[in-house]
Structure 1
Amino acid sequence: MTDNFTLFNYSPYNRRPQIRWPDDARIALVVVPNIEYYEYNPPGNSRYQGWERPAPDILYLSHRDYGNRVGLHRMMSVMERYDVRGTVSLNVALCDHMPEIIEDCCNQGWELFSHGIYNTRYMYGLTEDQEREVIRDSIASIKKHSGQDMAGWLSPSITPTIHTTRYLAEAGVKYTCDFSHDDRPIGIEFSGSRIISMPYSYEINDYFALNSYHYTPEEYLDVIKRQFDQLYKEGEESGTVLSLPLHPYIIGQPHRINILDQALDYITGHSAVWRATGREVADHCLAHFDEYYGGNNGR
C-alpha cells in the first residue's frame, strides 16, 4: 500500500552527500527558546484541544507567564556568558503584548521566527487562505517590530497541516521546525520553491524531558551531553545539528537554570562547534542545496 501524499523523499542517513559547516565545524548548536503567548479563553478547535483543563485556566496561564517575566531573563544571562544566541520560536502576538521581550531579544542579537500568532490558535482545520494569512501576518509582524526578515517557522503547538510546508516555501520562509525526523537539515522543494527542514528534537526538549519523561535535572543534563557526544562524533563525517528546544517557564526556574549553564559549558568547551542560529544554518544549506540534496528531495 502506498500513500498518495509525499512531503519529502526518504533519505537514508548513510547515503547522503557530506555536509560541511563553516570553519570545518562538526556540529551546529542551535538553541531554541520557545517564547509563547496563551489566551485566557482561546477560540475552539474541533481537531485539537490543547488544554487539559477548562478555560480560562489561570493556574496554567500564570505558570507559563513566569517564563516571560522571569525565566527568559535567566536564560539570556546564561546564554550570553557562552556567546550563544537564541533562535526564538515566537508567538508573534508578543510583539504587541510584550514589546519589551522583543527589544531584549534584538539587543541580544537573537533571531526571531514564527511559532504562530498565539500558542492557543492551531493550524489544524484552517482553510488555505487562513493558513497563508497566518504566515503573512507573522512575516509582517516580525519585520515591523524587530526589523528582521522572518526566516523560520514552527506551527503553534506543533499543529501543521499537510500543506503548511508548501505555503511556507512559497512565501519565502527558509526553514521549518515542524518535523522531528532527522539530525541533519533536509532540503524540500516545491516546483522551484525551496525550504529546509531543520532538526528540532523532542527527545531533549525540556518540556518532554522534564514534564513527560520525568527526568531528574541530573538525568536531563546527562541526556543533553550524550546527545551532543554522539552527534559530535557523527559530525566528523558530515555536519550535524544539535537542536536544543527550551521553554523559559521550565528551564528558567531557579532550580533548573544550572542545567542550561552546565550544558552550554560542556558543549562550548569542545572545538569545532558552530554556535549558529537557525537562519544561518538554513542559509548555508540553501546556498549548497543542489550539492547537499541534489535538487530532488522534495515533492
Structure 2
Amino acid sequence: MKEDPGYYDYWPYFKRPKITWPNGAKLAFWLAPNIEFYELNPPPNPQRKPWPQATPAVAGYSIRDYGNRVGHQRQMALLDKYGIRGSISLSTALCDHHPEIISQCSERNWEFFSHGIYNTRYTYGMSEAQEREMIRDSIDTIHRHTGQKCAGYLAPALSHSDNTIDLFAEVGSELFGDDAGFYTCDLFHDDQPTPIHTRSGKEFVSVPYSLEMNDTIAYVVNKIEPRRYGQQLKDCFDRLYAEGSESGTVMCIPTHNYQVSCPHRMKAFEEALEYITGHSDVWVTTGREIAEYYREHYLASSKDAILNVQGGL
C-alpha cells in the first residue's frame, strides 16, 4: 500500500456547501446487509488465513450457514416491517449457492452491490489482471441474476488493494457505461459522500459505510452486548440527525445475518430501527440512490469547493 494512495483530498467537515436530501431530509439512512458465502476449505492465501480455527473450521462455517438459512429470513422480515430496502453487500457466489435469497431480495427491489465472489478469497496477493477479472465476474454475475447494473463495491473481507477503486470504475464502465461502477464503501473517512479520484477520470463517489456501526465490529471486535449496540445506533443517529440540520449527513448500518439476526440480538436492533425510522426528515434509501443523488446534485460543486479550500491554504 502506498503511503498516501491519493483517493481523495483533505476537506474540512464544516463550512462545506450545504447538502439537502430529497424532500428536505436532514439525514440519508441506508442499511447494508452483508450476505456472504464462506468456503469451508478455501484456497490458501499467504497473507491471511480464512479461519482462526483449525481445519475444518466447522464452528465458523456453520454459524455463517445459519445466517443464510435462518438469519436472513429474520432480518428480511424486520426490514419489511419498517419499510427499509436493503443494499446488499453480496458475495456473488451466493447467486449459485442460494438463488432463493437472491429472488426474495429482488422481489423487494433491494439493491445488490459487489462484495467479491467468496468472502474467503481475498484481494491480497492478486495481480492487477486477477483482481480486474474477479471484479468483472462479480459485476457480471449480479447483472445476470438480478438485471441490476452494479453501482457499488466493497472489497471481499475488506481486502482492498491500491488498484481496487480504479479497477471497479473501469470495469463498470466497460460493461455498462456510467450506470455502473461509480461508488465505493471501502473508505471510512467521512459522514457525507465525497468525490473520489480515479485514474480513468470517471466520476466516482465514496458513500459513508460505518465500521463503528457494523455489527461484527460491535460484537466480535468491541465485544459489546446487544442493548449497548442498540443504544450506540441511536446515539450515532442523534448526532448525525442534529448535524444534518446544517448539511445533510449519511448513516449506514452494515449488518451480517449471522450476527445481528441471532434471536438474543434482534430486540435491540429492532428498537433502533423503530427509533430511526420514526423520525421525520429522514430519507430511508439505498447506497446507490445516495450516490446517484449526490453525483447529480453535489459532485461538481463539491469539487469546486475543494479547489477553493486548497487555493486558500
Find the partner of 2:184 among 167, 176, 187.
176
> Is 1:237 the counterpart of 2:246 in the alignment?
yes
**Separation of aligned partners in 2, 1:295 and 1:37:** 41
Secondary structure of 2:158's aligned partner: coil
Per-residue deviation, residues 242-273 of structure 1 (Å, max 9, x unmatched): 11000111111111111221111100110000
**Separation of aligned partners in 1, 2:132 and 2:285:** 28
**Separation of aligned partners in 2, 1:194 and 1:169:** 9
Per-residue deviation, residues 33-69 of structure 1 (Å, max 9, x unmatched): 0001011111111122232123331111001111100
Find the partner of 2:283 among 270, 274, 290.
274
Check the 8 A contact 1:34/1:88 in 2, yes or no. Answer: yes
**Separation of aligned partners in 2, 1:151 and 1:16:** 26
Check the 8 A contact 2:21/2:27 in 1, yes or no. Answer: yes
Structure 2 counterpart of 1:265: 274
Secondary structure of 1:113's aligned partner: strand
How do residues 28-107 of structure 1 correspond to structure 2 at under 5 angstroms?
28-107=28-107
Task: Kindly provide the amino acid, as one letter, of the partner of residue 184 in structure 1.
Answer: Q
Bigger mean CA deviation after superposition, 288-297 or 260-269: 288-297
**Separation of aligned partners in 1, 2:243 and 2:114:** 30
**Separation of aligned partners in 2, 1:214 and 1:247:** 15
Check the 8 A contact 2:112/2:150 in 1, yes or no. Answer: yes
Check the 8 A contact 1:26/1:232 in 2, yes or no. Answer: yes
**Separation of aligned partners in 2, 1:80 and 1:260:** 14
TM-score normalised by the chain length of structure 2: 0.91
Residues 185 and 174 of structure 1: CA distance in aligned 2, closer, same or farther (over 3 Å): same
Per-residue deviation, residues 114-142 of structure 1 (Å, max 9, x unmatched): 11000000011111111111111111100
Secondary structure of 1:266's aligned partner: helix
Check the 8 A contact 1:89/1:114 in 2, yes or no. Answer: yes
Structure 1, unaligned runs of 5 or more: none
Task: Kindly provide the amino acid, as one letter, of the partner of residue 185 in structure 1.
Answer: P
Residues 137 and 226 of structure 1: CA distance in aligned 2, closer, same or farther (over 3 Å): same
Q: How far apart are 1:295 and its partner, in Å?
A: 8.7
**Separation of aligned partners in 1, 2:69 and 2:55:** 22
Bigger mean CA deviation after superposition, 245-254 or 187-196: 187-196
Task: Kindly provide the amino acid, as one letter, of the partner of residue 28 in structure 1.
Answer: A
Find the partner of 1:185 among 193, 215, 219.
193
**Separation of aligned partners in 1, 2:159 and 2:77:** 31
Tell me: higher relative CO, structure 1 or 2? Use CA pairs within 8 A at least 6 residues apart: 1
Q: How far apart are 1:296 and its partner, in Å?
A: 6.2
Find the partner of 1:293 among 280, 303, 306.
303
Secondary structure of 2:197's aligned partner: strand
**Separation of aligned partners in 1, 2:220 and 2:5:** 34
Structure 2, unaligned runs of 5 or more: 173-180, 308-313
For these two proteins, the number of residue pairs brought into alignment is 296
Residues 11 and 129 of structure 1: CA distance in aligned 2, closer, same or farther (over 3 Å): same
**Separation of aligned partners in 1, 2:290 and 2:160:** 22
Structure 2 counterpart of 1:256: 265
Secondary structure of 2:116's aligned partner: coil
Check the 8 A contact 2:27/2:248 in 1, yes or no. Answer: yes
Sequence identity percentage: 47
Check the 8 A contact 1:189/1:295 in 2, yes or no. Answer: no
